Structure 1
Amino acid sequence: MSNKLDPESLHNPYFYYKPGQKDIWSLINETAAQAQQELGKPIVNLGQGFFSYSPPDFAIDAVTEALSKPQFNQYAPARGNPNLIGEVAKLYSKAFGRVVDPSEIQITTGANEGMFSVFFGFLTPGDEAIVFEPFFDQYIPNIEMTGAKVKYVQLKYPQKFNNEVVSGNDWTIDWEGLENAITDKTKLIVLNTPHNPIGKVFTQDELVRLGEIVIKNNLILVSDEVYDNLYFTPDFPRPANLAKLPELAQRTFTVGSAGKSFAATGWRIGYIHGPANLLKYVTAAHTRICFSTPAPLQEAVARGLVEADKIDYFANTRKDYIKKYEIFTKVFDELGLPYTTAQGAYFLLVNLAKLKIPQDYTYPEPIASKTLDFKLAYWLIKEIGVVGIPPTEFLTPDHREGHGLEKTLRFAVCKDDSVLEEAVQRLRKLKDYL
C-alpha cells in the first residue's frame, strides 16, 4: 500500500471551483494583457468592476491621518472599530428611518468575508441555501465550503431582450421554482439588490412576496446590498425596511461595502447589519476567520462617512453615474444593440446577438470550448480593443449553453468619463459587423 498522498482524494468533488481551474477574471485579464502587447496600445478595460480613479480626497486624507495614530495601527476589536460601528449604525438608521443600535452592526474584511461569516455562522453540512441565478460567482464556493448545498432559482431571462432595450423589472423571479426549491433542509436565501450583473433593483412588491416566503418557511434572508449607494430608481427598497412586512427585519442580514461606496475596493472594509440575537453567530464566525479587519482603514471609513454626509457625497455620486451611463449607452442606441437599463450598481448588460463575427475566426483554448459569450469577449478584445465580461460565468455550468445570457456581455462603467468616451469610439467599429 502506497503512503503517497493523493491530493485528488482529499478534494471535495462537489465544489463549484476545481483546483487549477483558471477563474474568469484571470482568463479575461490575461487575454487583455496579451492583446495590448500585440496591438502596442492600451486596451479599454470595462471588464472587472474596479475603479479607474482614486477615492475622494477626504477619504484618502482620513487614511493618512489614521496611519499617524498608534492605536489605529494595532489590532482592531473583533466586532470592529467602535467609531466605524457607530457611523454605520447612523448610516442604516437614516436609510431605514428607525434607530439602529450598534449591537446590530458587525464590521468585516470586505463584504465577501462578511457573507462568508454569515454562511459559516448558520450553515452546516447537509443544509441548503437558495441563490438566484445569475449570481455573483463568489457566493457559490463560500456556501459550499460550509458543507451546505446550493439550490438555484432563475431570474427569468426576458425574451424581448433579444430585440429591444429592457429594464431590471423585466427580469423576474421564478416564483414557482422558488417555492419548489425550498425543503426542510433550507436555511437561507441570498438576494442581491442592486443586482450584479443585471443592474436590477428589486421592487417593494417583489421584496414583500419574497419576505412572506422567507417568514412562512422560517428562513434567513441574506441581502447583498453592496451597491446600495448606487441606485437610479426613485427610491431603494430594502428587505430590512419594508413597511408592509416589518417582521422581515428580524431575520434579515444586510450586507454593505465601504469599498464600493468610496471607490476603494482594495481597502476591504465591509459591514453586516442584522438583529443582535442572530448577529452574534456572524461575529463568532468572523472572529475565527480573520479575527479583525484592518484598523487604519476602518478609522478612515468612519471619518469618511462623516465627511460624505456633510457634502451629500453619495447623492452626487449617483448623479455622476447617471452621466456615465448616458455617455456609454449612446453607442448601443446608435447601433441598435439592446441592453438592460441599469437601475443600480455600475454594470451594463448588452445583447450582442446581432453581431456577425466571421465563422472561421480562430479561438484559443480554453476560449474555443466555452460558450458564445466567451468568444464574443475574446473577439471584442482582439478586434475592437474593449474588455467585457462573459456573464454565463454567473450561471451554473449546465445552464450556460443556450441561455439568453450567452449572447450578452457585461461592461463596468466605474471608469473616468474619458475612458468611457474612448470605449464608445472603439465600439462604433461594430457597425461594420452588423
Structure 2
Amino acid sequence: MATSSDPASLHNPYFNLKPGQKDIWTLINETAATAQLEHPNRKIVNLGQGFFSYKPPEFALDAVDQALESPQFNQYAPARGNPNLLRAVAAHYSKSYGREVSVDEVQITTGANEGMFSIFFGFLTRGDEVVVFEPFFDQYIPNIEMTGAKVKYVEIQYPAKLDNENVTGQDWQIDWETLEKSINERTKMIVINTPHNPIGKVFTTEELHRIGELVIKHNLILVSDEVYENLYYTPDFPRPATLQSLPELRERTLTVGSAGKSFAATGWRIGYIQGPAPLIKYVTAAHTRICFSTPAPLQEAVAQAFGQVDKLDYFGNVKREYIKKYELFTKVFDDLQLPYTVAQGGYFLLVNLSKVKIPQDYVFPETISSRGTLDFKLAYWLIKEIGVVSIPPTEFLIEQNRVGNGLEKCVRFAVCKDDSVLEDAVEKLKKLKDYL
C-alpha cells in the first residue's frame, strides 16, 4: 500500500532518477546553447550528436510530398509495414546479401531504436542475459534492462598506441576470454554494432566468424546493428548474415537497418529488421504491442526513395562524399599531431586530446566535475573556449569502467555535416595549438 501522497512516488523503480540528473545529450546541448548566448557573435559549431546539418536528397523529399497527397498513405500502415516498403527493403537486402530475401524476413519499425527494443521485448524475459560489447550505443542498455534481462559487458579494448599515433578499427581488439566466460545457460543473445559507434570499427570476417561460432554453439541469437551499412570505407563490409564460412549463422541473425541514417532523415523514424521468418514473427508481435504502426507517409516515401538509389548511385556518391569529409576534418588533427582512430565506417571520429593542456585554474560546473572523467572536462572546455561541440565517449562505458579507461582521453566528433560546417570547426580547432 502506498504511503506517500506524492503520485510521482509511484514511478517504476527502474527510472530511479537523481535530482537534476540530465542525460548526456541534454547536458552537452544545453552547454552549447548557453555558450552561444554568452558569445552571440561567435558561432558554436555542433559536431556532437549524430544529426545531419543538411536535408535529405530531393528524390526522397519529392516522395514525401507525393505520399502526403495520397489518402491511403495518411492512414494507419499495417503492423508489419507498408507492403511497398517491405518489398523495397527485401530487394535492398537481396542485392546487399547476394541472395533472395523475402518480405517475410523483414519488419518495419519506428526507427532502429524501436526495432532493437522490439527484438529485446520479443525474446527476453526476466533473468535472461545479453552480451553487449563495450563501448556501446547508450540506448542498448535500458532497452535490454527494461525487459528484466541483465547485460554482460565485454570490452573492445582501447589500443594504448592511440595515445601517440593514429590507429584503425582493427587495433581495437575484442576481449575474447571475457566473451567466452560471459556466456552461460541464461544467455540468449549477443549484440554487435558494425560499423561501430563511437569507434568507427568494422568487424572483420574473422571476428564475426569467431562470434558466430559461439552463437551457434550456445544456441543464441545474434543482433547485428548495421545502421551505418551504407557508410563503410573498407574494401568490403563483412556481415554475419552473409558469412560464407559460417552460413548457418544467418538463421540466428537479426540485422538492424535505418532509413534515417541512409537518407539523412533521422527524424523520419523509419527503421527495419531483417532476419529469418521464424524469428521476425516475434519482432512483429513485440512491435505491434509497442507502437503498432510506423508513420505511413514516411514509409511510402522511403519505399519510393529506395527505388531511386541504384540508378543515381546514391549510396556510392554519399560514401565518396564522406571520405572527403574525413579528409577535410582530420587534417587539423594531423597538423596538430593529435592522434585519432581512422574511421572504417559510420560518421564519427574519436580523437585523443591528452596532449591538450586545459589551464589548471579553469573552473568547471558541478554537472561536469561530478562526472569524474577527463573527457567531460575536455568536451565542456571545447565548447566554452574553442566553440566546437563534441561528445565525451566514456558515456558509452558502464560507470565503474570510465575512470582510467583510455577513452577518457578522447572526444567524439560527428562529421555528418555540410563541408562549410566542418571547415568552420577546423578553423576553430586550430586554436588548440595554443594549448599543446
Which TM-score bucket, shorter chain as reference?
Answer: over 0.9
1:400-419 correspondence runs (5 A)? 400-419=402-421
Shift of 1:229: 0.4
1:288-307 correspondence runs (5 A)? 288-307=289-308
1:215 matched residue in structure 2: 216
Shift of 1:433: 0.3
1:24 matched residue in structure 2: 24
Q: Contact conserved, 1:194 with 1:201, CA < 8 A, in 2?
A: yes
2:349 matched residue in structure 1: 348
Q: CA RMSD in A?
A: 1.3
2:37 matched residue in structure 1: 37
Alpha carbons of structure 1 residues 243 and 16: separation in structure 2 relative to 1, 3 Å: farther
CA shift digits 1:223-282 (9 cap, x unpaired): 000000000000000000000000000000000000000000000000000100111000
Distance in 2, Cα, partners of 1:217 & 1:197: 29
Distance in 1, Cα, partners of 2:244 & 2:60: 34
**1:35 maps to amino acid:** A
Distance in 1, Cα, partners of 2:313 & 2:366: 48
1:429 matched residue in structure 2: 431
Shift of 1:8: 5.0
Distance in 1, Cα, partners of 2:197 & 2:136: 7
Q: Contact conserved, 1:63 with 1:299, CA < 8 A, in 2?
A: yes
What runs of 5+ residues in structure 2 fail to find an aligned partner?
Answer: none
**1:137 maps to amino acid:** D
Distance in 2, Cα, partners of 1:7 & 1:203: 48
Alpha carbons of structure 1 residues 230 and 19: separation in structure 2 relative to 1, 3 Å: farther
1:151-300 correspondence runs (5 A)? 151-300=152-301
Distance in 2, Cα, partners of 1:433 & 1:319: 34
Distance in 2, Cα, partners of 1:322 & 1:118: 33
Distance in 1, Cα, partners of 2:88 & 2:313: 15
Distance in 2, Cα, partners of 1:399 & 1:47: 22
Q: 1:387 and 2:389 equivalent? A: yes
Matched residue of 2:151: which SS? strand
Shift of 1:12: 2.9
Distance in 1, Cα, partners of 2:407 & 2:248: 36
Q: Contact conserved, 1:391 with 1:409, CA < 8 A, in 2?
A: yes
CA shift digits 1:2-23 (9 cap, x unpaired): 463574575435x697686310
2:380 matched residue in structure 1: 378
Matched residue of 2:197: which SS? coil
Distance in 2, Cα, partners of 1:16 & 1:255: 30
Distance in 2, Cα, partners of 1:67 & 1:404: 49
Matched residue of 1:398: which SS? helix
Distance in 2, Cα, partners of 1:375 & 1:245: 45
CA shift digits 1:147-201 (9 cap, x unpaired): 0011100001101011100000000110000001111100001100000000000
Per mean C-alpha deviation after superposition, the further-off stretch among 306-315 and 111-120 is: 306-315
2:69 matched residue in structure 1: 68
1:105 matched residue in structure 2: 106
**2:43 maps to amino acid:** P
Q: Contact conserved, 1:16 with 1:141, CA < 8 A, in 2?
A: no
Distance in 1, Cα, partners of 2:87 & 2:68: 20
2:89 matched residue in structure 1: 88
Distance in 2, Cα, partners of 1:21 & 1:75: 37
Matched residue of 1:358: which SS? coil
Q: Contact conserved, 1:73 with 1:295, CA < 8 A, in 2?
A: yes
Q: Contact conserved, 1:232 with 1:343, CA < 8 A, in 2?
A: yes
Shift of 1:308: 1.1
1:126 matched residue in structure 2: 127
Q: 1:116 and 2:117 equivalent? A: yes
Matched residue of 2:351: which SS? strand
Alpha carbons of structure 1 residues 206 and 395: separation in structure 2 relative to 1, 3 Å: same
**2:315 maps to amino acid:** F
Matched residue of 1:27: which SS? helix
Distance in 1, Cα, partners of 2:213 & 2:347: 30
2:50 matched residue in structure 1: 49
Q: Contact conserved, 1:17 with 1:141, CA < 8 A, in 2?
A: no
Identity of aligned residues (%): 73
Q: How many residues align?
A: 433
Distance in 1, Cα, partners of 2:74 & 2:10: 42
Distance in 1, Cα, partners of 2:270 & 2:72: 18
Alpha carbons of structure 1 residues 43 and 144: separation in structure 2 relative to 1, 3 Å: same
Matched residue of 1:130: which SS? strand
Matched residue of 1:197: which SS? coil
2:324 matched residue in structure 1: 323
Distance in 2, Cα, partners of 1:77 & 1:301: 15
What runs of 5+ residues in structure 1 fail to find an aligned partner?
Answer: none
Distance in 2, Cα, partners of 1:112 & 1:71: 26
The two structures have a TM-score, normalised by structure 2, of: 0.97
Matched residue of 2:222: which SS? strand
Distance in 1, Cα, partners of 2:352 & 2:10: 42
Distance in 1, Cα, partners of 2:287 & 2:113: 11
Shift of 1:42: 1.7
Matched residue of 1:150: which SS? strand
The two structures have a TM-score, normalised by structure 1, of: 0.98
Distance in 1, Cα, partners of 2:191 & 2:310: 29
CA shift digits 1:49-100 (9 cap, x unpaired): 0000000000000000000000000000000000000010000000111000
Distance in 1, Cα, partners of 2:233 & 2:119: 28
Alpha carbons of structure 1 residues 16 and 57: separation in structure 2 relative to 1, 3 Å: farther
Matched residue of 2:366: which SS? coil
Q: Contact conserved, 1:162 with 1:353, CA < 8 A, in 2?
A: yes
